[in-house]
Amino acid sequence: MLEYIIIGLLVIVIILLIIVLTKKNDNMEIVDRMSSLEKNVTKDIGDFKFEFSKFLQSDFDKLNENIERRLNLINDRVNERLEVNFEKTNKTFTNVLERLSKIDEAQKKIDGLSTDIISLQSILTDKKTRGIFGETNLNIILSSVFGEKNDAIYRLQYSLPNGTISDAILFAPEPLGTIAIDSKFPLEHYERMTDRNLSKTERELAEKMFKADVKKHIDAISSKYIIDGVTSSQAIMFLPAEAIFAEINAYHPEILNYAYAKRVWITSPTTLMSTLTIISMIIKNMERDKYAKVIHNELNKLGIEFGRYKERWDHLSKSLETVSKDVQSIHTTTDKITKRFIEINNVDIKSENLIENKDERNDGSDESSD
């Protein structure tokens, strides 16, 4: 930038020289002045260059110091943040390693669970084993709701008068009455129906067979466990698999309508638990109402007895008041008699004194006459 200023001043000087030359003024005074002007301009330019260089150097030094200070500050902050981020990254990395180890453990458990599930599936392929599985689940649900061996509310493997044996019988309050519960597990055709590896035709055939199996179970429960005058007009079919229950409710409403017409409730572990919990609450409320009636009757009897007690106490109070009055009267009479006795006694003493005085006087008069 300094070079541009110098060039500008030289241009001005040249222009002035050209003007002077064009006027053709040979006056030496003008030449001297021009020479002096040129020297002064050259000196001023030199001074300006020096001062400007000095000023630039000072500003550059200050700017360099500021930049260096800013860079040091930025460097400190960067180092601080790097340390913080490094600590966070280290913690995150440690957490990731811990979670990876937990994931590995969970994966091992999942693998073991998969093996257990495969074993369970192999066990549930047997109808008898499925029946035991359903009865066990039913027993667990009943025990969790009503308690262990609560024969007053439910019984397992209950024999009915028609010779059939229900997996469980529930002695619910009226109007429900005695309700039979039977466990069914239609698994074979359900698995084929939901197996995507089979063809559509095979799955449709399995679906028809699944519906037929469920309806057959509904018919068996309706005919065996609904007995006029013995059980309720309804019975419960327990499906120990939530997936089968969800399949029926979501995609087979005709089965639900068929069960409703046969007066059979279809339940899963969750819905059976909810139903039994409601029945348990009803039983508790009825027991509470029964005891409330007993308490009410006892309170009424106590009220009657308290009424009698009040009457007797009032009578006794009146008797006590009468006796108190009689005692007061006797006390008054006693006081009067006592006063009379005192007065009589005082009268006797005065009479004796008078008699003695008369005798003394008589004796005195006799002596004087002698």
Q: What is the pLDDT of residues 109-126, one digit of tens each?
A: 665 554 544 444 555 556
At 369 the pLDDT is 46
At 94 the pLDDT is 81
Looking at residues 35-41, what average pLDDT do you find? 67
Residue with tokens 């209950």: 158
Residue partners of 218: CB distance under 8 A and separation at least 6 = 237, 255, 258, 259, 262, 264, 266
- Whether the predicted model's global pTM rises above the 0.85 cut: no
CA dihedral angle for residue 306, residue 311, residue 313, residue 319, rounded to 10 degrees: -170
Looking at residues 76-82, what average pLDDT do you find? 80
pLDDT surpassing 80 at residue 57? no
pLDDT surpassing 50 at residue 268? yes
- pLDDT band of residue 264 (cuts 50, 70, 90) is very high
Residue 186, Cβ density class (10 Å: 0-12 exposed, 13-18 middle, ≥19 buried): buried
Which position has the higher pLDDT, 96 or 253? 253
Q: Mean pLDDT score of the chain, rounded to an integer? A: 77
Dist CA 207 CA 204 (whole Å): 5
At 350 the pLDDT is 52
For the stretch 107-111, contacts whose Cβ atoms lie closer than 8 Å and that sit 24 or more positions apart, written own/partner, are none
At 357 the pLDDT is 56
CATH topology for 127-287?
Answer: Trna Endonuclease; Chain: A, domain 1 (3.40.1350)
Looking at residues 131-138, what average pLDDT do you find? 85
Taking Cα atoms as reference points, which of 147, 141, 138 lies closest to residue 284? 147
| 181, β-bridge pairs | 168, 236
Distance of CA 9 to the CA centre of its chain: 90
Show me where the domains of the chain are located: 127-287
Please report which residue ranges of the chain form alpha helices under DSSP H.
Answer: 2-22, 28-124, 127-146, 188-193, 200-225, 242-251, 253-261, 269-369
| 182, β-bridge pairs | 237
